[in-house]
Each structure stands twice: as C-alpha cells, then as structure tokens.
C-alpha cells in the first residue's frame, strides 16, 4: 500500500514564477492537509481539503496561494509569483477521516526561490 | 494558539528515559505525536483522544490529561534511533465536529548518544 506521494521532491523557482506542488493521498484517504515548514521551525497548517471541497483554509496567505483537490487526480498547492520568503518544505498529509485519525505525511517538496 | 512543548532539547545516553510535555491553552480533543529526522517527513507515533487515555507501543507511551490540557510522551530505555525532533499536534472540537487541522508545537530536539 503506497504511502502519501508528493512531487516534485525539490523545486527551484526564480522570483515571480509559479510553483505547483502535487500530492496524492494514501489509498482510501479522502482528507488532505498541507503544512509548511520553514528551516529549523515547526509545521504550520495551511489548508484542509476533501474531494472538491476546501474545508479550512485559515492558514493560507490571502494572496498568491491556492489549493485544490479535484474529483480525479492529486491535490495541488499553487503559489503564484513566488518570493524568497516562500522557500520552505511543503508537506502534504492525508487521513481517512478527520482529526480522530492519524495523519500520514508525504516526503515533502522542498521549494527554493532564487 | 500553538501548544507549548517542553523541554526544547534533551540529550540522553542510550538506555536513559525522557519525558516530553505538550501544553495547550485551549480545550483539546486530540493530541498527535510525531518524530521527524533532519530532512525527512514527520513520522506518526500515536494519537490520543479526549478521555484521558494512555497509549503505548514498544518503549514509547503517552498520556493525555484533558483537565490540565496537556499530553506527555514517555521514552524509556532510549535507543540511538530515537534521536530526532518530536512534535505534538493538537486537534480541536466544537459544535459536534472535530477539526481536521493540527496545530503543532515548536518541537523538542532529542539527541541520544552511545
């Protein structure tokens, strides 16, 4: 049973470009969460999605960031017009239901903005 | 509100025990414990739900004191493989629904020496 998959594992972008991060949850999991981790810091919640629904986006910056989890295909975290401060590790986690169940993390995408 | 973990760092010799605490200023519904090694994804350890339960497997166990709004992670007879950063993540509950998102503490760095 494959775990949570994220790609790419490493992404380098220049300031002003767009970054697209993908996450495929574990089989049977319908809940997806995105977290951001700055170097030497903890994990910060960004957004919680179910298929075709954004449940909680209270951790998402108001501008440039968006997320979706379509009926078919992976969840996408999109960052437009990246800036140096966006450089971080972005982790996706999935669970079969809500916070009563463990969230399993993917390997992360390390974004570097030049 | 981010839960507060203590201590910030622990240094042990193989075979010694450690306790990591996680305190919240808000009512807790669930507490999730993870271990993260440098450059890797967080790995799920255990989840405790409202009800003051205690859980454990192998030499790692945890307790959840709902009244005190805190959880403790107990590591006994530590091994070299226990080294890493330990995070607690707290989940809320209100209006009959549990929150999907987790709010993580700042982490406790555990180093085990031979």
CA separation for the pair A33, A80 (Å, rounded): 19
Question: Can you give the pLDDT at residue A1?
Answer: 54
| Helix (H) / strand (E) containing A24 | strand A19-24
Exposure string for A67-99, b = 16+ CB within 10 A, e = fewer: bebeeeebbbbebeebeeebbbbbbbbbbbebb
Query: Are A75 and A22 in contact, with CB atoms under 8 Å apart?
Result: yes
Over residues A45-64, the pLDDT tens digits come to 999 999 889 988 989 999 99
What is the per-residue pLDDT across B13-24, written as a single tens digit (0 to 9) for each?
A: 999 999 999 998
Residue B114, pLDDT score: 93
Dist CA A39 CA A19 (whole Å): 19
Characterize B24-52 residue by residue with b for buried, 16 or more Cβ atoms within 10 angstroms of its Cβ, and e for exposed: beeebbbbbbbbbeeeebbebbbbbbbee
- pLDDT 10s digits, B45-90: 988 887 666 666 778 999 988 888 899 999 999 999 999 999 999 8
Q: Which are the contacts of B58, defined by CB distance < 8 A and separation ≥ 6?
A: none
Q: What six digits make up the tokens of A50?
A: 């179910």
Alpha helix positions (H), B1-114: none
pLDDT at B48: 87
CB nearest to A43's CB, from B44, B99, B104: B104
- Look at residue B71 in the predicted model and tell me its pLDDT: 92
Residues A8-22 have a mean pLDDT of: 98
Answer whether B37's CB lies under 8 Å from B83's CB.
yes
Residue B84's pLDDT is: 96
3-state SS, B76-103, equals: CCCCHHHCEEEEEEEECEECCEECCCCE
Question: In this predicted model, which residue has the larger pLDDT, B55 or B98?
Answer: B55
DSSP code per residue over A31-78: EEEEEEE-TTS-EEEEEEEETTEEEE-TTS-SSSEEEE--SSS-EEEE
Give the one of A48, A102, A106 whose C-beta lies nearest to B100's C-beta: A48
Distance CA A96, CA A99 (A): 9
Between A31 and B54, the more confident residue is A31
The pLDDT score that the predictor gives to residue B97 is: 54
Interface size A-B, in CB pairs within 8 Å, comes to 72
Q: Is the pLDDT of residue B4 over 90?
A: yes
Q: Output the pLDDT for position B98.
A: 54
Alpha carbon of B13: minimum distance to chain A alpha carbons (Å): 24
pLDDT in tens, A63-104: 999 999 999 999 999 999 999 999 999 999 998 875 567 889
Edge-to-edge strand order for the sheet containing A5-7?
A: A5-7, A19-24, A75-79, A65-68
Test mutation, B28, B33, B41, B46, chain A, max A CBs within 10 A: B41
Instruction: Give me the phi and psi of B112, to 5 degrees please.
Output: -110, 125
Chain B residues near any Cβ of chain A (below 8 Å): 2, 29-30, 32, 34, 40-44, 47, 49, 87, 89, 91-93, 97-107
Contacts of B40 in chain A (CB under 8 A): 107
Q: Please report the pLDDT score of residue A12 as a whole number.
A: 98
Which two three-digit tokens encode residue A64? 């440039």
Q: What is the mean pLDDT of chain B?
A: 87
Question: Which residue of chain A comes nearest to B5, CA vs CA?
Answer: A42
More confident residue, B28 or B41: B41
């Amino acid at each position: 049973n494959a775990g949570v998959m994220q790609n790419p594992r490493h992404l380098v972008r220049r300031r002003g470009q767009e970054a697209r991060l993908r996450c495929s949850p574990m089989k049977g999991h319908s809940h997806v969460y995105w977290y951001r981790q700055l170097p030497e810091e903890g994990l910060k919640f960004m957004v919680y999605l179910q298929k075709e629904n954004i449940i909680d986006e209270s951790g998402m910056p108001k501008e440039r960031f968006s997320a979706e989890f379509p009926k078919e295909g992976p969840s996408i975290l999109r960052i437009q017009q990246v800036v140096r401060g966006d450089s971080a590790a972005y982790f996706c986690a999935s669970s079969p239901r809500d916070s009563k169940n463990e969230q399993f993390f993917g390997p992360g995408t390390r974004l570097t903005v030049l | 509100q981010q839960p507060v973990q203590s201590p910030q760092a622990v240094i042990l010799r193989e075979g010694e025990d450690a306790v990591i605490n996680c305190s919240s200023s808000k009512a807790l519904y669930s507490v999730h414990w993870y271990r993260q090694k440098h450059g890797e994804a967080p790995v799920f350890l255990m989840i405790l739900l409202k009800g003051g339960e205690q859980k454990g497997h192998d030499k790692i166990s945890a307790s959840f004191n709902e009244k005190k709004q805190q959880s403790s992670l107990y590591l006994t007879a530590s091994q070299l493989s226990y080294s890493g950063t330990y995070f607690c993540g707290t989940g809320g509950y209100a209006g009959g629904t549990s929150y999907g998102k987790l709010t993580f503490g700042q982490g406790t760095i555990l180093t085990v020496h031979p």
